[in-house]
Structure 1
Amino acid sequence: MHVVCPSCDALNRLPPERLASRPKCGACGAPLFQGKPVALDAARFRRHRDRGDLPLLVDFWASWCGPCRAMAPQFEAAAAALEPEVRLAKVSTEEAPELAAALQITGIPLLVLFRGGREVARQAGLMPAARIEAWTRAHL
């Protein structure tokens, strides 16, 4: 399977049985799973969504959004529980307004789950970590 490095965005081929064995990037040597969300801009988002084989759960947020800031530690806790099965990422709608428009994001915080490069589910609003995990697993 293909796993995009959260540090350098290099594409790594990895047998599925090695996902949990703390694999490292063949290009930069960084861990492929860090137990925390990856901050992505529009270009990096497209690479992770389109080239990686892992499901991608994205938290679309903005710095001025109180509920977004409240959900950040919950999303980080969910990342620790869901990796290496799912890649969790954060995309700032302030920094990537064209991406937000293209994906028709009208409210934040918004979780969007992608699999195989396609959106499979979305959920708006603040959620605790346990609910993020359960919602994600229900849609895989």
Structure 2
Amino acid sequence: MEIKCPHCGQRNRAPARKLDSIVSCGKCHRPLLSSPVVADSPVLTELISDSAIPVLVDFWAPWCGPCRAFAPIFENEATRQNGSIVFAKVDTELHQDLGQRFNIRSIPTLAAFFRGKELFRKSGALPPTELEKIVNQLKELA
């Protein structure tokens, strides 16, 4: 799969099964997973099925007020965790097939995956402390 570097914009090929070791951009050498991965169907499928570390997906839409309010909280936690788990964002307006595939009925919805299985999901914008608790639970799995 390709991950766009959040720092320099360079596209990097990084197999999901090696995300626990491949964490830096080939061009600028800064961390690739220091911000959420923008996922479409192929990227999300690979992340969920092959990722060596847990994946936390934020299903959102640009017109959703709570989604926009939660976005900086999600981004800050991704930066803080710096690749210990994968943070991914799926725009359900742009990728309606993924909203249907994962039966997303309200947004924002967080869904956690590890080794091809959905572990849990939680709907609604979360405060930073609750998101941190979820992230800590996921890190214990890895």
TM-score range, shorter chain: 0.7 to 0.9
Q: How does 1:13-92 map to 2 (within 5 A)?
A: 19=21, 23-24=23-24, 28-29=26-27, 31-92=30-91
| Equivalent in the alignment of 1:128 | 127
Find the aligned partners of 1:41 and 1:78 in 2 and give their Cα distance: 21
TM-score (norm 2): 0.79
- Residue in structure 1 matched with residue 3 of structure 2 by the alignment: 6
- Given the two structures, how large is their TM-score scaled by the length of structure 1? 0.80
Residues 44 and 81 of structure 1: is their aligned pair in 2 closer, same or farther, counting only changes over 3 Å?
same
Q: Deviations over 1:35-62 (max 9, x none)?
A: 1111111111111211221100000000
SS in 2 for 1:57: strand
Q: CA RMSD in A?
A: 2.5
Matched-pair contact (CA < 8 Å) for 1:9–1:44: no
Is there any run of 5+ residues in structure 1 with no aligned partner, and where? none
Residue identity (%): 33
Deviation at 1:81, TM superposition (A): 2.1
Q: Quick one: structure 1 residues 64 and 100, their matched pair in 2 at CA, closer, same or farther if it must change by over 3 Å?
A: same
Q: Which runs of 5+ in 2 are unaligned?
A: 5-11
1:87: Cα distance to partner? Answer: 0.5
Q: 1:124 to 1:51 in 2, by over 3 A?
A: same
For residue 138 of structure 1, what is the aligned residue in structure 2?
137
